Structure 1
Amino acid sequence: MAPKILFVLTSHNKLGNLHKPTGWYLPELAHPYHVLHEKTEITVASPKGGEAPLDPASIEAAKDDVSVNFLKNNEQVWKTTQKLDSFVGKANDFDAIFYVGGHGPMFDLVDNPTSQQLIREFWEAGKIVSAVCHAPAVFYDVKLSDGSLLVAGKEITAFTTEEEEQVGLKKVVPFVPEEALQKASGGKFVKASPWGEKVVVSGRLITGQNPASATGVGEAIAKALGI
Structure 2
Amino acid sequence: MKKILVVLTNTTRYKGTNGATGLWLGEATEFVDIIHQAGYQVDYVSPKGGFVPIDPRSMKYVNKNIMESYETGDFQKRALCNSLCPQQINPDDYIAIYYTGGHGVMWDFPNNYELQNIAQKIYNNNGFITSVCHGIAGIFNIKDNNGKYIIDGHNVTGFTRSEEMLAGKLKIVPFLNQEIAEKRGAIFKKHRAYKEFVVQDRQIITGQNPFSAKAVAEMLISNLRK
- Structure 1-normalised TM-score? 0.93
Q: Is the 8 A contact 2:29 2:69 kept in 1?
A: yes
Instruction: Name the residue aligned to 2:62.
Output: 63
Spell out the pairing of 1:23-38 with structure 2 (5 A cutoff): 23-38=22-37
Instruction: Name the residue aligned to 2:131.
Output: 131
Residues 39-65 of structure 1 deviation map (CA, whole Å, 9 limit, x = unaligned): 1111111112112111111112x2322
1:84 matches 2:80: no
Instruction: Name the residue aligned to 1:185.
Output: 185
CA 1:177–1:85 in 2, change beyond 3 Å: closer, same or farther? farther
Q: Is the 8 A contact 1:9 1:24 kept in 2?
A: yes
Secondary structure of 2:97's aligned partner: strand
Secondary structure of 1:44's aligned partner: strand
In 1: Cα distance, 2:88 partner to 2:62 partner = 34
In 2: Cα distance, 1:185 partner to 1:137 partner = 14
Spell out the pairing of 1:157-172 with structure 2 (5 A cutoff): 157-172=157-172
**Aligned residue identity for 2:203:** R
Aligned length: 222
Q: Is the 8 A contact 1:161 1:179 kept in 2?
A: no
**Aligned residue identity for 2:121:** E
In 1: Cα distance, 2:185 partner to 2:225 partner = 27
Residues 179-212 of structure 1 deviation map (CA, whole Å, 9 limit, x = unaligned): 11123134x1101111111111111101000011
1:198 matches 2:204: no
Instruction: Name the residue aligned to 1:54.
Output: 54
Gaps of 5+ in 1: none
Q: Is the 8 A contact 1:156 1:185 kept in 2?
A: no
In 2: Cα distance, 1:64 partner to 1:225 partner = 28
**Aligned residue identity for 2:7:** V
Instruction: Name the residue aligned to 2:220.
Output: 221
**Aligned residue identity for 1:196:** K
Offset at residue 86 of structure 1 (A): 2.2
Instruction: Name the residue aligned to 1:11.
Output: 10
